[in-house]
Structures are given as structure tokens and as C-alpha cells.
A and B are shown apart, each in its own frame.
Chain A
Amino acid sequence: MGFANLFRASSREWWGTRQWIVQSIIWLVIVNGIVAAVVLAPQTEQGNAQPPGISGVEIFFMIGAMAFGIGVTIIGQGIFLDEKKSGTLAWVLSKPVSRPAFFFAKLLANGLGILVTMVVLQGAIAYLIISGVKGSPLLLLPFIGALILLALYVTFFFTLTLMLGVLYDSRGAVIGIPIALTFGYQFIGSLAPFLMDILPFALVMTGGPESPALASMLVNQQPLPSVLPILATIAWIVAFVGIALRRFDAMEF
């Protein structure tokens, strides 16, 4: 009850304002700006400006993953935290709206805005840039498959941030944990390599020529060594949502 109204209001904050344009431009500059700079760079003596073994596709997914991981944390951190602090959460919950409806309206409306402006739009632009430089279009379906993995990665961080926003009242914890995870994944990987199989980094982060990201492998039509990172990421997302819902249901004002 109340989901449609809340979803509409939250969506309007994206599509009824300049938010979607601003977000689109930010990620265009940060992500595709770098992709374009790298793939369009003059050839070096070795014939390729890119680091050996790193293609334009890999650049897009790695830079995208880092940037979008930070981006969704910044966007997501205020969704519940600001409403708790401002008192609007209590006000809305005094209307005939169920708590799950409130949660899912915020998750889906903001998730849609994030996925469209970050993954879909930037992915489409990267596809055009890379295909243009390559001289022939990348295979579309595998690229879309790779974008789905990027979407999963982004959703992991988004739902993590939302969950933290429900659990904590401190902005430090809500922002700090996802950002630490974004920048610290290699450190985590070196401490406990098995974690890399169950965290989302393997989806989009290339660890070197010997460990390409699953997204890159999809684009290059290589067989995936394991689907465990995909399943694990989905499981994390479900867990984050479940924990957030449970805690949100028990919240008092």
C-alpha cells in the first residue's frame, strides 16, 4: 500500500528534475572521458597506448566499477539517512503505507535512475566509442551480457549502502564501508583470495592478463571459468535487502 505514490514521487526526483542530466554528464566525463582518452590516445612505440592486455572494454568496466561504486554510495547514502534525520520518514509512515512498500519504492525508483544513467547510458556510449575506434561494432549481445554484470556490481553497492543507511545513523559508516570496499578490494584479495570468488569484483575488475573480469570475457566470447561470483553477488544483494527490510520493519520513531 502506498508503493505507487512513493515510487512516483521518488522517480520524479530523478526524471522530473535535472538530476538525471547531471548524473549522465558526470559519468560521461569521468568514465567515458577516460575510455575515450585511452582508446583514442596516439599510438606508442609499441603500437598501443593501452597497458598491455587491457582493452577498451576492460578499461570501461574497471573505471566504471570504481566510479560507479563510489557514485552509488554517494547517491544512496542519503536515501534513508536524510529521511530519518529530517523526520520525513516518520511523516510518510504515518500515512497508509507499509514499510516494505516504502523501502521498495525508494530502492526501485533510485535503482532505475542509477542503472539508466550509469550502466545503460554510459555502456551505450562506451560501446559506440570502442566500436568506432575498433572500426567495427562489438558483438551486441555479449556486450549487453557484460553490462548486466556491471549492473549487478552496481546493485551490490547500492543495496549495501541502502542497508547501511537503515542500520546506522552515522553518515561515516554508511559511506565509509562501501568506499573502503571499493578501494580495498585488492587488499582483501591478497589477504583472503577465496573472498574474490564471492565478492562482486571478479565480475568487472581485471586482475591482470591471467585473471580478466567476467564482463571482459563475455564481450570476448570466452567461456566463463565460474559463475560463483555472479551467484554470490545476487545472494549478497538479496541478503542486504532482507536485512534492511527486517531492520526497517522494527524501526521506531
Chain B
Amino acid sequence: MMNDSLVIETRDLSKSYKDIHALKTLNLKVAKNSIFGFLGPNGAGKTTTIKLLLGLARPTSGSASIFGYDIVKNSVDIRRRVGYLAQDPRYYEHMTAREVMRFTARFFYTGPEAEIEARIEETLRLVGLDDKADRPIKGFSGGERQRLGIAQAQVNYPDLLILDEPAASLDPQGRHDVLEVMERLRKHTTIFYSTHILSDVQRVSDTVAILNHGALIAQAPIQELLVGGDKGTIYSLTLKGDVQEAHKVVSGQAWVSGVTTQAENGTTRWDVSVNDEAQAENELLRLVLSDRRVNVMEFGRKRYNLEEVFLSMVGEKGEKDRVQ
């Protein structure tokens, strides 16, 4: 029986196309009302995963469930509660934006026309397309199509939003708006989205999974990834002055496993890896301050940006995957 707090759960989900393993034993858990970022380089298997979840492709092995429904046997039931934005959204070119929305809404609603139209109007306004609602899609720019995609994905108040590169083709303001919409929707829905824009993931996601060559190489709450996850505890210091002696003193401590140094614009940056967090917390700053030739400009637990984490994981583990 599926855990009620999970919306998506995959169990060794795999997909192969002849000799190509597009997805290898994927085990994902997506919590309810979370924003789950799905990262990976091109060809990692993100879109393949999304297509499997939506019933647009069938797994080679393994299984998955959404809302407790099996993705193969109960695909239509799942899609009733899901809103989906494809990576490169396509619509019937002869339709206007409003007609696309009406067509989409009628898959979910059979109620009074006036209410459906009101919902359509509201959704178009939310994405800034209300003034272009009656223009044919044919003349829409990439950004406008993306906005329409976001609108049609949420017209049915979905319990799960699956977004494949939602901020693609959008200018910075558009991206900002999409992220705002996602944060606003979090209370009402679960959002599962794939993207290349790591700063966006860092900004809004609760949990992140990183995929490479079809294999899951990391899945953790974003905060855990950003403090280095499996890299152990690292403290970051920005110093001015003559740091040589201080460097010797700190490196010589038993609880210090290594110190990397980088000179930057007249300052020196240290990343101090420690094997005893409690001791480091107590003593590291005091040790450095005790050398009066050194001024401490910044001190704190090292926080990675997601790009560093992503590149290091995709780099090192990517090599292992390729060998495998």
C-alpha cells in the first residue's frame, strides 16, 4: 500500500529502446505538496521519465504509481488529476489560445459553460495571455506558447503538475513569473518539474533529483545537497593578511582533514574540511583569530551552489556510469 504522503513513487523503473538504456532502475519518491526539481544534462532520461509517468511510453521493467494508481493500468485515472507541460508544447495551430484552453478544459469539466469560461479567463490572465486569447496559436512566439502551456496545465486545478522545462523560451521576467506561480501553487498541488536552469531549482525546490545517463545519482532535500551532502563538513573562510602561519596551525589540527586555498581579489579563501564538526565549530574561528596578522572577512559552513553540486556529481559519477 502506497504511503499517502507520496504522490509519485517509482520502483526500479527502467526504459530501454533496443540497445539504449534510456532509464536504469529509477527509484524516486515525490512528497505531496512539494516542489521536486528533476535535473540532468541533455539525454539523461528526464523526459523519458515524464513520458513513462504519463502513459506516453511503457516501462521496460519496474513500476511506478501516482496517487496510488499504477502508471500502466490506471493511466487515464492519473491524467485526470495531472496537469502537464511538455518540453516543446504543441497545439492545434488553427485554434486560438482561448479555444485551446476550452478544448483542454473539456477533458476535465462537464459543468456550466459560464464557469468553464470564467476559469479559462482566470488562467489566461494568470499567465498574461488574456489580451491575446483570441489570436490563432500560429502567430504565437515561443514564450507565448510556453505561457499557454502553463495555463493549460493548470486549468483543471491539478493535484500534480508535471512541467518539462517550464522556463524554457521565457525571458527573465517570464521565468520569474513562472517561479512565482509555482511557489503560489505549492499549497494546492505537488509540482514535479525538469529544468536546466539550476538557479531556479535552487530558488524554489524542496527536493532535487539528479539524473545522468539514465541513472539516478542523487536525490535529497535541496538544503542537504547545498551543504555538500556526501562531501562531509566544510567551513569556508575569507581572509585578509598574511595567512601562512595560520594555515600551518589549522592544517596541523587532528580534526582538520584538509585545507584548500584560493586567492581572490586581495583576499584568500579557505575551504577547511573537518572530520569533527563539534571541534571545528568550537575552535576553528578562534584559532584563526588568534593570529593577529590575519583578518577574518567571512566565516561559515560552506554552502555550495547547485551548479557546483550538479557539475561535480555529473562529472565524477557520470564517469562511473559511463564505465558501467
Contacts and interface: CB of A to CB of B under 8 A. Distances in A.
Contacts of B103: 5, 9
A253 interface: yes
A210 interface: no
Interface residues of A, number: 21
A94 interface: yes
Contact of B106 (A5, A13, A88): A5
A252 B22 CA distance: 14
B104 A87 contact: no
B57 interface: yes
B98 to A, nearest CB: 14
B66 interface: no
Contact of B56 (A8, A13, A86, A253): A253
Contacts of B88: 87
A1 B56 contact: no
A96 B58 contact: no
Contacts of A97: 76, 79, 107
B217 to A, nearest CB: 25
B107 A87 contact: no
B258 interface: no
Contacts of A253: 51, 56-57
Interface string B78-93: 0110001010111111
A91 interface: yes
Nearest to B104: A95
Contacts of A13: 94
A94 B86 contact: yes
Given A93-B55, A253-B56, A2 B107 contact: yes
Interface in B250-308: none
Interface string A1-29: 11011001100010000000000000000
A96 B108 contact: yes
Contacts of B58: 250, 252
Nearest to B153: A94
B140 to A, nearest CB: 14
Contacts of B104: 95
A4 to B, nearest CB: 8
A250 B180 CA distance: 38
Interface string B48-59: 000100111110
A147 to B, nearest CB: 32
A6 to B, nearest CB: 9
B44 to A, nearest CB: 18
Nearest to B162: A94
A94 B92 contact: no
Given A86-B90, A87-B86, A98 B76 contact: yes
B99 to A, nearest CB: 9
A252 B80 contact: no
Contacts of A90: 56, 86, 90
Contacts of B106: 4-5, 8
A233 B92 CA distance: 34
Contacts of A88: 90-92
Contacts of A95: 79, 104, 107-108
Contact of A5 (B56, B77, B80, B107): B107
A252 B79 contact: no
A12 to B, nearest CB: 9
Given A98-B76, A252-B51, A253-B57, 20 more contacts: A1-B76, A2-B107, A4-B106, A9-B92, A86-B90, A91-B86, A91-B90, A91-B91, A93-B55, A93-B56, A95-B79, A95-B104, A95-B107, A95-B108, A96-B77, A96-B79, A96-B80, A96-B107, A252-B57, A253-B51
Interface of A: 1-2, 4-5, 8-9, 13, 86-88, 90-91, 93-98, 250, 252-253
The 6 A-B residue pairs with the shortest CB-CB distance, nearest first, are A87-B90, A96-B80, A5-B106, A95-B107, A252-B57, A96-B79
